[in-house]
Amino acid sequence: MNEITITKDNFDEEVRNYKGLPVLLDFWAEWCGPCRMLGPIVEQIADEYDGKVKVGKINVDDEPELAAAFRVESIPMLVVVKDGVIQTTSVGLRPKDHVISLLGL
């Protein structure tokens, strides 16, 4: 598993100030059915594209400040960040090819 748990404590290091690979952020919650269905897709992408993308998981219940900062209103929500700048977002359950297209891979 190549996913990183993102918290407010490691956000700057892992996302905001990270230069290089695109960062795929998965905003999710344990109680969210669509999140549990998207989770394995995100995990596959983290494994298959290791070295081409960094994948971070943000539990909105554990990290409400990060959810608020990204204006998360509905989950699952995917955000692609490159060099500290949001590139694109996607809300809801999406197929694997859609998630890969968000990354431009």
Percent of the chain whose predicted confidence (pLDDT) is above 70: 99
Q: Specify whether the CB–CB gap between 82 and 24 falls below 8 A.
A: no
Q: What is the pLDDT of residues 14-53, one digit of tens each?
A: 999 988 899 999 999 999 999 999 999 999 999 999 999 9
pLDDT of residue 104: 86
Q: Rounded mean pLDDT of the chain?
A: 94
Catalytic pick among 6, 25, 32, 79: 32
Domain map (residue ranges) of the chain: 3-15+27-103
Q: Which of 23, 25, 35, 41 is catalytic?
A: 35
pTM: 0.94
Quick check: 1 pLDDT over 70? no
CA–CA separation, 42 and 55 (whole Å):
8
Q: Which fold has domain 3-15+27-103?
A: Glutaredoxin (3.40.30)
- Does the active-site annotation cover 32? yes
**d(Cα 50, Cα 28) in Å, to the nearest integer?**
21
pLDDT of residue 88: 95
